[in-house]
Amino acid sequence: MSEVLRKAREYEEKHRKEPPAEIRPKFHFTAPVGWLNDPNGFSWYQDRYHLFYQYHPYGTKWGSVHWGHAVSSDLIQWEHVPAAMAPGDDYDRDGCFSGSAITMKDGSHLLMYTGFVYDESDPKHRGIQTQNIAIGDGSNYRKCTSNPVLSVDDIPGGGDPYDFRDPKVWMDHDGILNAVIASGEEMSGARIIVFRSNDGVHWKYSHVLLENRYRFGRMWECPDYFPLDDAEVILVNAMDMEETSPEFHSGNNGLYFLGRTDPDSKRFLESSVHTLDHGMDFYAGQTMLAPDGRRILIGWMQNPGTASEHETVHSYFGQMSIPRELHIEKGRLLQMPIRELESYRTCAVEHRNVTLCSEKKKLDGVSGRILDMELIIRCRDSKRPFNHFEMRFAQHGDRFAALTFSPVSRSLRVSRPFSPETSMKLNERETVLPKWDGMLQIRMILDEGSAELFLNGGETVFSMTLETDPKADNITFVSDGDLILDVKTYKLDSTLR
């Protein structure tokens, strides 16, 4: 084990109880200490789920990224285990960037990741990016002696050595390994390229799967590719997007493409592209295939554009989203919280057919900050339609976060106007609901530091962090016309399993 890794393991062991579990999010993964960004190596290996992540143990700002490591039997309760990788070799001296994991035929666990080394001669202070391998047993990983397995010389024509990163690996039915890698290129801005290998160590460039052509942002990061239901999906994270419609927001955003790979040209034939999560805080999502066949997505619940501007409150910073089950229906990707979360539900409260007539209403027992809520709103009387519905949550007096909906424009907005984030971050996001036929279904997961809203079966999703006082736990419904509510809430109790 390298000295850098040994030091990181000692450091995290010493500090992992500060702050204690009581004041961390209960259902959202956080690092033992220090900074966390992208999920990496999300996989099922030796009867446990493994989650690795971009990790800087020594500070709450990004820097010198390691791979942190945790394991779980249900994707909800994670156990921190010692960090898996640290930077420091010639090819990853300044960071072990994002990547993925796969079980090899010989039973070993292979990690493929991007090595990052600052280029001292570059006036823009960028870093050379190469692809590397580490092989392990679920606890300890050894970097491959032939690293880098893909160097800048392997990038196909026009590729930028400073933008070549984040391999996501999968195995074909014939046992061949494939990796999609994000590559910056002058003509197209960003492209997703595929490399193939028989043994995980020797890789060869195969083809371009998808090109940006400057439609969505500048560079793409953290790609993923997988078949799902009867289509194929590509996830990308687009940097520096411009707002082109209510569906595509400015800044850095996760996108999903649905389509099919043309067997002759091997190009991905897109049928549609949409924003993955419309909230302020969801990036670098990575999926895994669970042993029962579910495709599960987890993301870094943060906005990369503003993540480094936070004030240091605790000795850790950053959290993951709730893992989500994915499906495709009617040309849309549906995302819903994994069903394992339901085992932590307790204290059900239900209200059916509640009428809301131009008023603000609180409902008995409907409050909390660690909560799973199912809500359906329906039009009541077409003669007195509502133009504005609002659900306020994480509320204390006149301070709250909210979801608002205007049926006429189908516009949906989440906001956290009175959260301490206000001074420095994006605090509002709006999108348009694909369709409105008089009924809106909402599932909301609240944890002390976040809210995730899944609308209409997960067709539209919003994730955001909340830094308001965890005691701000009121929920209020507001409307300017008539509507009917069905509400069911459960407290979520992390001691239940």
Applying CB under 6 A, the residues found at the interface with ligand FRU are 37-38, 54, 65, 97-98, 114, 165-166, 221-222, 284, 304
Asked if 399 contacts 468 with a C-beta cutoff of 8 angstroms, the reply is yes
Shortest CB 102 distance to ligand FRU, Å:
18
What are the φ and ψ backbone dihedral angles of 320, each rounded to 5 degrees? -95, 160
Q: Which is nearer to ligand FRU, 111 or 284 (CB)?
A: 284
Candidates 309, 300, 311, 236; CA nearest to 464 is 300
Shortest CB 310 distance to ligand FRU, Å:
15
427, two tokens: 């605090």
Whether 172 is catalytic = no
Q: Which is nearer to ligand FRU, 193 or 366 (CB)?
A: 193
Q: Which is nearer to ligand FRU, 114 or 450 (CB)?
A: 114
Shortest CB 163 distance to ligand FRU, Å:
9
Candidates 419, 436, 437; CA nearest to 428 is 419
| Cβ neighbours of residue 160 closer than 8 Å, sequence gap 6 or more | 183, 184, 185, 186
Shortest CB 65 distance to ligand FRU, Å:
5
Q: Which is nearer to ligand FRU, 218 or 267 (CB)?
A: 218
Burial 314-351 (b: 16+ CB within 10 A, else e): ebbbbbbbbbbbbebeeebbbbbbbebbeebbeeebeb
C-alpha 231/C-alpha 412 separation (Å) is 28
Cis peptide before 223 (omega within 30 of 0): no
C-alpha 496/C-alpha 372 separation (Å) is 15
Shortest CB 286 distance to ligand FRU, Å:
11
92, two tokens: 């990853």
Shortest CB 191 distance to ligand FRU, Å:
15
- CA 245 from chain centre, in angstroms, equals 22
Q: Which is nearer to ligand FRU, 35 or 386 (CB)?
A: 35
Shortest CB 381 distance to ligand FRU, Å:
48
Burial 13-26 (b: 16+ CB within 10 A, else e): eebeeeeeeeebbb
Q: Which is nearer to ligand FRU, 165 or 416 (CB)?
A: 165
Q: Quick one: residue 121, left, alpha or beta (phi over 0 = left, psi -120 to 50 = alpha)?
A: alpha
Q: Which is nearer to ligand FRU, 68 or 138 (CB)?
A: 68
- Among candidate residues 38, 154, 224, 281, the one labeled active-site is 38
DSSP category for residue 343: G
Q: Which is nearer to ligand FRU, 166 or 390 (CB)?
A: 166
| Cβ neighbours of residue 392 closer than 8 Å, sequence gap 6 or more | 400, 401, 402, 474, 475, 476, 477, 478
**445 C-beta neighbours (distance < 10 Å), count:** 21
Q: Which is nearer to ligand FRU, 285 or 481 (CB)?
A: 285
Containing H/E element for 109? strand 109-118
497, two tokens: 């399993």
Asked if 318 contacts 36 with a C-beta cutoff of 8 angstroms, the reply is yes
Candidates 154, 161, 160, 162; CA nearest to 179 is 154
Shortest CB 35 distance to ligand FRU, Å:
9
Q: Which amino acid is at 459?
A: E
Name residue, tokens 């608002």.
404
Shortest CB 169 distance to ligand FRU, Å:
15
C-alpha 280/C-alpha 427 separation (Å) is 7
Active site residues: 38
